[in-house]
Every structure is written in structure tokens, then in C-alpha cells.
Amino acid sequence: MAGSKNHQWRCQGCGIPLARDNRAGLCSPCGRREALASGAPAKPDGFWQCAALQDALAARHFGQVLYAYRHEHRPVLTQARIGRWLGLTQGQVSRLERAAQPTHDLNKLDQWARVLHIPQHCLWFQLSPQSDRADAQPRTAASLGYQSETGDEDVLRRQLLRAAKVGAASVGGSTFGWFNAQSPPPSHSRAVGMTDVQIVREMTQTFRRLDHRFGGGHARSAVTNYLASDVLPLLRADRCRSDVRRELSAAVAELGQLAGWMAYDVGDTSSGCRHLWQAMRLCQDLGDDALAGEMLAGMSHVASRRSAPSRWFGCLRTT
């Protein structure tokens, strides 16, 4: 009987013990890997004939297509789920939907349309010839054109190596996360630009792929150090245009959200709640209610898994 109970409360993916209130049968990393692996379902022709999708397709605005696509499902699909299918973050999906000008990059449009199985006769552009086998392959940020769109691969590689090299010293030490106000950042002599924002986003994608493949414990120290040593100085820089600062804050919030989930996955709830809280405050400062909602949903999820949610939320009041 005891052996049966032990088996019942172990992750079906990796076999680690689960909390007794975990009814999903998967730990957090395995659950996210499963969500990432599951792609968009093929839809019947009638689905694409609904008025909202027809209007969005006629407008030739893929962000509007995403919005209409999500809202034709019951329940409505979240931006985070669509983002997993497309290899984007929730924030990037939100910005695509809100953009005044549509995306004209045919490579991305081609990939996104294939991921969602949009029929050729509904599209305003010609799909590139690809075999069914190639079309069935899972998409990643790299395959969708986000791996090298800044043209700064060397900078990205140097930052990743530096973060990995000294990251272990930052967890448990005096620089306990990027939210530690007692760690003054080095001065930024140059102006912060959109290249810096893109690098932060690509680093987030890199860390997220490591998390999905190996679990949060493998990259957590590198993420924490990268936030403290590279990202926080960007946020505090004086020479930064308002539009760049807005995009940077959104990118940092998404990285902070990832850091929070990594901390939670390895049992460091206190650090995780601080990461998510700081990320949510950045979103609130931006007025990005959708992204702030993602952070709040994450904190609610963690609280619901704790034996004493009131004690968990108590750490938020100390930040």
C-alpha cells in the first residue's frame, strides 16, 4: 500500500516526488515542457470563416489575427499559450496584438501561419514551399527569427558566458537577486538603446530553453547574476529614451518572471515571490495590465500550492 502511494505522488515525467495537492501528475518543469511540446491543433475550414477572423485576415494584421484566433476558442486561449506555440513570450504576443502597424516580415508571417495551420486561401501572402515533415517540427525562438535579429550574437554569447561563470556566487550571497537595492550597479556611460533590449530578450529565450530542457536549478544562478550585474544597471541608466525604457522594462519583467519560476521550482519560495513581485511592479509602472496579470496569476498559482498561503504572501509585504 505504501509503495502505491509513493508512486501516486511522483511526477509522471521525471519521477521526482510531488506535493500531495498536485493533481496534474507533473512537476513544474515537466508541465512546462509538455505545454511547449504540444502545438496548435488543426482547425476545420469553417473555423476560419467566422466574421472576426475574416475581418482580421482582410486587415492583413497578424496581431489582429492572433487576437481573433484566441477569442474564437472556448475557453479563450491565453497569450502565454499562443506564445509557447509561436516561440514568443506573452509580452511579445501582447505587443503584436496591440501594434498600430502590422508585421511585414514574411519569414515570421510564414512560420506563424504554419504553426497555427492557417489555410493558404485565407492568407494575403504566399506560404513558402515546405514538406509536411518540416512543417510538423516544433518551432523555437531561433526558428522564428528571434535568435539573431539583433545581429549581436557575439555580445549575447559573452554575456551568457559571463553570467554562467560567476552566477554561482550570486545565489545565497550578498547579491540575493536583482531586487537587492543594496547592490549599487556600475555607472552606464553610454546611452541604452533597442539593441540592449533585444539582447535581454534573447538572453531570456536562452535561459528559458535551458529551463525547459534541464529544469530551473541548472540556470538559476546564471539568471540571478545576469539580472544583478547586467540588467539592473540598464534599468537605472540615465541616458535612455522613454520608448526604449518602456520596452526594456517589459523585457526585464519577463526575465524576472522566469527567475521567479526557477526559484520556485527548486523550492526557494521566498526568492521566487520577490522576483514575481518586482516583475509585477514593473508591469504596473508600464500600465501593461495583461503582463501584470500574468505575474499575478503566477503568484496566485504558487500561493495555492503552499500549505500556508498567508505566510507566502507575507514575504511580499517585506519587499
Question: What is the tens place of the pLDDT at every residue in 33-80?
Answer: 554 456 788 898 899 999 999 999 999 999 999 999 999 988 888 888
The mean pLDDT value for 118-130 works out to 91
The mean pLDDT value for 267-291 works out to 82
Handedness of CA 166, 171, 172, 174 (dihedral sign): positive
**Mean pLDDT (the chain, rounded):** 73
The pLDDT of residue 200 is 92
The pLDDT of residue 293 is 79
Domain 45-135 has CATH 1.10.1060: no
Global pTM value: 0.46
The mean pLDDT value for 279-308 works out to 74
The pLDDT of residue 98 is 87
CA gap 281, 256 in Å, rounded: 11
Helix, coil or strand: residue 54: helix
Confidence category of residue 28, pLDDT binned at 50, 70, 90: low
Three cell numbers at 144?
A: 522564428
Average the pLDDT over each of 49-63, 155-169, 219-233 and give the range with the smallest value.
Answer: 155-169
The pLDDT of residue 69 is 95
The pLDDT of residue 58 is 95
- Residues sharing a CB contact under 8 Å with residue 263, sequence separation 6 or more, in sequence order: 216, 220, 269, 271, 272, 275
**Is pLDDT larger for residue 116 or for residue 283?**
116
**Is pLDDT larger for residue 29 or for residue 115?**
115
**Where are the chain's structural domains?**
2-29, 45-135, 153-317
pLDDT at position 182 over 50: no
For 271, list phi and psi in degrees, rounded to 5.
-65, -40
Average the pLDDT over each of 145-154, 160-169, 282-291 and give the range with the smallest value.
Answer: 145-154
Confidence category of residue 283, pLDDT binned at 50, 70, 90: confident
pLDDT at position 173 over 70: no
CA gap 91, 72 in Å, rounded: 21
pLDDT (tens digit per residue) in 236-268:
888 889 889 989 988 999 899 888 888 877 777
CA gap 180, 319 in Å, rounded: 9
Q: Which secondary structure element, helix H or strand E, spans residue 39, and what is its range? A: none
Give Cα 162 distance to the centre of its chain. Answer: 22
Instruction: Select from 200, 178, 194, 195 the least CA-distant residue to 279.
Output: 178
Handedness of CA 82, 86, 89, 92 (dihedral sign): negative
Residue appearing with cell numbers 497555427: 116
pLDDT at position 165 over 90: no
Average the pLDDT over each of 17-26, 79-88, 160-169, 184-193 and give the range with the smallest value.
Answer: 160-169
